[in-house]
């Protein structure tokens, strides 16, 4: 195999490292047929993983709560992810680890009969917000699509139940907006396709506390804000508060902290990226060279 075959990405599947184009799962896997899976995404920036241990911990917690088991411990998982990144040669990468329920015994509908499957891959980094959106701010639609009820699907287990999020995205595109945040049916916003949300309300950052994935970028943002002396409240964030916010940004492994400068066609503040948002974006990227958070891939 030449190095070129690995340039578009590298996967680990069925205990082997292969070019991404050769990584395939069974059509009978319940990960595909029932969205019965959990996953995590960690990024590599300038050749180093950001908060790798935290992503692996969240992945292991998701598997345990879904009663899934794989043959790899945290150190072995780390080693597999590092091998994928190194072979790809990528210095900015999007690295995903996945556990699916797997395929049951022929004729069985019992999840206990499935052999859980693990695979992982490293591909070039991809952003939620493109370059223009990062420079000018995203146009956000507050969707009336309700996020799946957390009593039904636990959003703290990172999952592929994205039908509501994808509906929100199409509703945003129909309105010429870039992305959408979903609601909880009780007048609050919760999260969007691949991101958590923060709003500056009366000089304090507010971020929803319930009905969301506990994002690792969200956690980083809260910790860095405290270091900067910026107050953060983790509580309900109403649709009305978001519409009237002084500043808004979204957070995700797929792009870090990204500004929002319009909500449903109305400017947020004066329509420029606000000073608190810019402080947080700068602090986030600076944190990548902090040894507390960084694991070199090379």
Shortest reach from residue 61's CB to ligand PLP, in Å:
13
Shortest reach from residue 213's CB to ligand PLP, in Å:
4
Residue 96 within binding range of ligand PLP, rule CB under 6 A: no
Which run of H or E residues covers position 209? none
- Rule CB under 6 A: choose which of 217, 238, 261, 294 binds ligand PLP: 217
Residue 253 within binding range of ligand PLP, rule CB under 6 A: yes
Cβ-based neighbours of 256, under 8 Å, separated by 6 or more = 217, 281, 284, 285
Residue 230 dihedral angles phi and psi, to the nearest 5°: -95, 130
Shortest reach from residue 124's CB to ligand PLP, in Å:
17
Beta-strand runs (E) in the chain: 10-13, 16-19, 37-45, 48-50, 93-103, 115-124, 138-146, 179-183, 188-189, 196-201, 204-207, 232-234, 237-238, 247-252, 256-263, 266-267, 294-296
How many residues touch ligand PLP under the rule CB under 6 A: the total is 13
Residue 38 within binding range of ligand PLP, rule CB under 6 A: no
Shortest reach from residue 154's CB to ligand PLP, in Å:
12
**Residue 209, CA distances (Å) to 40, 165, 171 in order:** 20, 18, 25
Residue 251 within binding range of ligand PLP, rule CB under 6 A: yes
- For residue 5, give the DSSP letter: G
Toward ligand PLP, which CB reaches closer, 78 or 269? 78
Q: How far apart are the first and last CA of the chain?
A: 21
Residue 218 within binding range of ligand PLP, rule CB under 6 A: yes
Whether the CB-CB separation of 159 and 153 falls below 8 Å is answered with: yes
Stretch that binds ligand PLP, among 88-96, 208-216, 222-230, 276-284 (CB under 6 A): 208-216
Residue 101 within binding range of ligand PLP, rule CB under 6 A: no
Residue 191 within binding range of ligand PLP, rule CB under 6 A: yes
Toward ligand PLP, which CB reaches closer, 196 or 238? 196
Residue 215 within binding range of ligand PLP, rule CB under 6 A: yes
- Rule CB under 6 A: choose which of 137, 194, 208, 274 binds ligand PLP: 194
Residues that bind ligand PLP (CB under 6 A): 41, 191, 194-196, 213, 215-218, 251-253
């Amino acid at each position: 195999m030449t190095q070129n075959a690995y340039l578009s990405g590298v996967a680990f599947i069925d205990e082997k490292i292969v070019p991404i184009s050769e990584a395939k799962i069974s059509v009978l896997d319940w990960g595909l047929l029932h969205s019965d899976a959990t996953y995590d995404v960690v990024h590599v920036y300038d050749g180093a993983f950001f908060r790798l241990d935290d992503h692996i911990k969240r992945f292991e917690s998701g598997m345990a709560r879904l009663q899934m088991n794989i043959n790899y411990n945290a150190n072995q998982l780390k080693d597999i992810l590092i091998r994928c990144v190194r072979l790809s040669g990528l210095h900015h990468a999007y690295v995903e680890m996945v556990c699916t329920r797997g395929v049951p015994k022929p004729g069985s509908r019992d999840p206990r009969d499935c052999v859980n499957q693990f695979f992982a891959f490293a591909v070039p980094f991809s952003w939620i917000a493109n370059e223009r959106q990062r420079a000018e701010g995203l146009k956000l639609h507050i969707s009336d699509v309700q996020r799946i009820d957390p009593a039904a699907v636990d959003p703290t287990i990172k999952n592929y139940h994205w039908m509501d999020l994808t509906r929100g995205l199409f509703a945003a595109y129909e309105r010429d907006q870039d992305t959408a945040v979903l609601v909880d049916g009780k007048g609050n916003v919760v999260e969007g396709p691949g991101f958590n949300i923060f709003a500056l309300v009366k000089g304090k950052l507010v971020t929803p506390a319930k009905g969301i994935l506990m994002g690792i970028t969200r956690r980083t943002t809260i910790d860095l804000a405290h270091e900067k002396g910026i107050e953060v409240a983790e509580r309900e964030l109403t649709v009305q508060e978001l519409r009237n916010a002084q500043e808004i940004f979204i957070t995700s492994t797929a792009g870090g902290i990204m500004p929002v400068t319009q909500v449903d066609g109305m400017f947020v503040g004066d329509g420029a990226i606000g000073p608190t948002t810019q402080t947080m974006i700068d602090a986030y990227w600076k944190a990548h060279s902090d040894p507390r958070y960084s694991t070199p891939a090379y």
